[in-house]
Each structure stands twice: as C-alpha cells, then as structure tokens.
Amino acid sequence: MTMKIQNSLTQACELIQKEQLSVDDYLGQCVALADALEPTLKAFTVRASLPTLIQESGSGPLRGIPVAIKDLIDTKDFVTSYGSVIYKDFVPTEDAEIVKKIRDLGGVIFGKSVTTEFAWRNPGATTNPWNGGHTPGGSSSGSAAAVASGIVPLAIGSQTAGSIIRPASYCGIVGYKASYGAVPRSGVHPVSGSLDHIGFFTRSVADAVYAFNLLKNSTTEENDSIVIPELILKPVNAVLDQRKPRFAILSSPFDDLLSQEQVDIVKKAATLLKASGASIEELSLPQTYWDGIEALAVLMSCEAAVVHKKHLEQFPELLGADIKELIEKGNAYSERDYLEAKNLQIALRKSIGSYFEQFDAILAPPATGEAPKGLSFTGNPVFCSLWTFIGTPAIALPVGKSSNGLPLGIQLIGAYCEDEKLVNMAAFAEASFKAPYN
C-alpha cells in the first residue's frame, strides 16, 4: 500500500462535525487514494465521482463519510450485480434499508464493493491490500480491502458462513457481525435467510460500535429482526475496575487445519490478555454444537435452492458451477433434514448462553491462518460457521503478522444479544494487542 488515510471513522466524523476537516478535501483524498490503488486492488465494481460524492453529502452524524457497500446490497443509483453476470446492468428502484439509513445520516455511497457470485464462491478480482498475490477473503472481498487500504473508513458486508470475520482477519482490520437479526437486511439479496447477517468493516472496535449504533434495527418490522439497545463502550480501565475480564480459548475438532502461525497468534493473544489483567481458561463444547456446522450447510443449500430456482430455470448458462452445486445439494435434502437443522439452530442459540455465565467471551481463530495465495479460493470458513449458525455476535481483531507479512488475528464471540459485553471485551483486547502494525 503506497498511501493510507489515517483518519478512523470516529475521528473523521468528529473532525468534520467540528469543521476541522473539509468534506470536500476529505472525499478528495479518498478518491485520490482509490484512483492510485484500484488498478491493482480492484475492490470496487463501480465508484461515484468526486463531484457526485460532494453533492450528495448530507447533514447528520455521518456527514461526508464515504461508505463502501457490498454489491449484494441494493443501491438505487448504482448497478447492483450481486456478483453475477445475470444482473450486470441491473439498477434497483430503491435503496436497501441500511443504505437509506446511511444517506439519511449524511453519509455518501462511495461505490459498490466486489462480492463473490451471489455471495457464494467464484471470487471477483479483488486482491489483498498487503500482498496482491493473495486473496482478501470472501464473500465481502471488496469491503474488507477498501477499509484495509484506507480508501474508506467504513464498509458494509454480509456473512452467511464466514464472510465478514474471515476477510477482516485476512486484511488486518476489525470485522463485526452483530447478533442475528440486529441489522437491517431488507434490500439485501439473500443467500440463506436463516443465516444471513449484515455487518461492518472498520479500523477499530470503537468505529464498529459507532457504525452499529447508527445503523442497527430500530424496529422489528423485518422477518427475524431484533432490536438491541445502543451499545455503550466503557473505558478499558473501567472494565478492569468492575472485575477481571474472563476469556475462554476454544478447542475444536478442526484445529488440525490451523497453521502453526495461527496457533501461535492465538497463544500470543492469550498471553497479552493475561498480561493486561484478564483470566484465561480453556473450553471444549459437546459434539452437538459442532453438528451445527453440517446443519448450517443444510439450511444454506436448501434456502439457496429456493432463492436461485428462477435463476436456474431462466439463466442456467449464466450461473457458476458453485451456485449450481449449492442448488443441487439443497434439492437433495428432505423436508425432515431441513426441519432438524432448523430445530438444532434454535436449541443451540438458547443453550450457548449457559457457557457465558462462566466467562465473558470466547477466543477462537478466525481462519486457518494467513490469507491463501492466489485469488481462486477465498479461504475456509469453518472457524466462523458455528457462530453464524447460532447467530451469536462475533468480532475479528488483528494481532500480528505472518512471516510473509500478512495479517493474522483472532475472533471473539459473545452470547446471543449480549453484544455490548462482547464489544467491551473486544475493546479491552484491542488495547492489549495495541494493533502493532497498523
């Protein structure tokens, strides 16, 4: 990365509100950086011009803030292709609910960030900002890369398995997936309604909390929506004054997939947390929980088969092989298979809460290791899938770098609807890690 704008989301908002930073100048810097990096980064499918950005900047807490919107999310003035050639010229008639919120708060849509095809496999052209020969992760590829490279301070993404946490980790930024149903999904092309989450890419925990508080659901009008009260971040010292933060390091049946560097970074994170005053314990979960990963595959494929039925019938030659395979798997499951998976999801969402009576957050790997080489594979989501299935909040934090100079981090997981506790644990962890390479 040859250039980097240092203002975080909260910093930029504060400076603009105090008129210590000109909206025109700030947006001009962002556009100039995108112009310089995009030929190799390729984070966007389309971008707004600087005059348009300046003209559309409104008043409110997000005044003048450029936001990247994943190309799975409807925008009325940009082509929204959902990563598919079927929709290469499609312009929605109205914005998704979260886009409306951004505009109403004074923010501007900088552009549409690259997604994999219908947020499944078949990656786009986006490269990793730290090394263009590696993937940025997926499916929220462009959103993660745009924030990590400094082009925008906030990007919106989605996660149905690991599409926020994993790219955030690969790109060395914060990725926050709130509890299932807490962020508006209206106007977002579904992958699987039982699993889809909308989330945020930022450069700090405070930025993620700020974005969530502004853009979260304020009503329960949408299907499966919940309203979580405004999250309040306490000073790190206040967290310590209350009592010793308790973290549990999770072991899983998939730990043999981890690189040694990823194992070491989790240990390093635990050591730093302990040095900052936290307690660390080990946690194993019963096999029933890990069965949830197979159940996620059932829900995802069954629901995707319904979503893409019209695409398969009308545009079979334009659908990628991965989507076709997903539809085929979904059609092969029985109604009983689907209902059993759904019942397990509901049961685990309820039962996981009992574990959080013993600790404040689970510490786990966000991925198998550094971003894989090449652009054809966006990485294994297995270390994120269980938490997406259950719908618990999760947040990715950078910790260090691999021997190849690529970011490595951890994820923290909280109890369902206990997002405030999770983000406070994340802020404590962030201060402990001190993001050594940012």
Per-residue model confidence as pLDDT tens digits over 7-17 = 899 999 999 99
Q: Does an H or E element contain 408, and which?
A: strand 407-413
Q: Write down the domain spans for the chain.
A: 9-215, 240-433
What residue type is 323 in one-letter code?
I
What integer pLDDT is reported at residue 6 of this predicted model?
A: 67
Angstrom distance (rounded) from CA 242 to CA 224: 34
N-to-C CA span, the chain? 12
Tokens standing for 220?
Answer: 């329960």
Per-residue DSSP letter, 247: E
Which parts of the chain sit beneath pLDDT 50?
1-3, 435-438
Beta-carbon contacts of 322 under 8 Å, excluding residues fewer than 6 positions away, are 117, 120, 121, 122
Tokens 């406070």 found at: 424
Determine the angle formed by the axes of helices 321-332 and 287-307, rounding to 10 degrees: 110
Domains 9-215 and 240-433 share a fold: yes
Angstrom distance (rounded) from CA 391 to CA 182: 10
Rounded to whole angstroms, what are the CA distances from 273 to 245, 286, 355, 359, 427? 9, 26, 20, 14, 11
What integer pLDDT is reported at residue 434 of this predicted model?
A: 85
Tokens standing for 7?
Answer: 């203002």
Per residue in 70-126, pLDDT (tens digit) is 999 999 999 999 999 999 999 999 999 999 999 999 999 999 999 999 999 999 999
Q: Does an H or E element contain 350, and which?
A: helix 335-351
- Residue 246 phi/psi, 5-degree rounding, is -115, 120
Give me the active site residues, please: 70, 139, 163
Angstrom distance (rounded) from CA 25 to CA 29: 6
Q: Does an H or E element contain 198, and which?
A: strand 197-202
Q: Which residues of 87-100 are buried (b: 16+ CB within 10 A; e: fewer)?
A: beeeebeebbbbbb
Classify domain 9-215 at the CATH topology level. Amidase signature (AS) enzymes (3.90.1300)
Per-residue DSSP letter, 376: S
Output the pTM of the full model. Answer: 0.97
Burial class of residue 24 in the structure, from the number of CB atoms within 10 Å of its CB (0-12 exposed, 13-18 middle, 19+ buried): middle
Classify domain 240-433 at the CATH topology level. Amidase signature (AS) enzymes (3.90.1300)
Closest among 161, 167, 156, 149 to 208, alpha carbons compared: 156
Angstrom distance (rounded) from CA 82 to CA 424: 34
- Nearest 10 degrees: CA dihedral of 370, 376, 379, 380? -150
Cross-strand partners of 340: none
What would the DSSP string read from start to end of 34-95? HHHHHHHH--EEEE--HHHHHHH--SSTTTT-EEEEETTB--TTS---TT-GGGTT---SS-
Rounded to whole angstroms, what are the CA distances from 350 to 172, 174, 343, 344? 32, 27, 11, 10
Contact 191, 119 (CB under 8 A): yes
Strands (E), 203-345: 246-250, 279-283
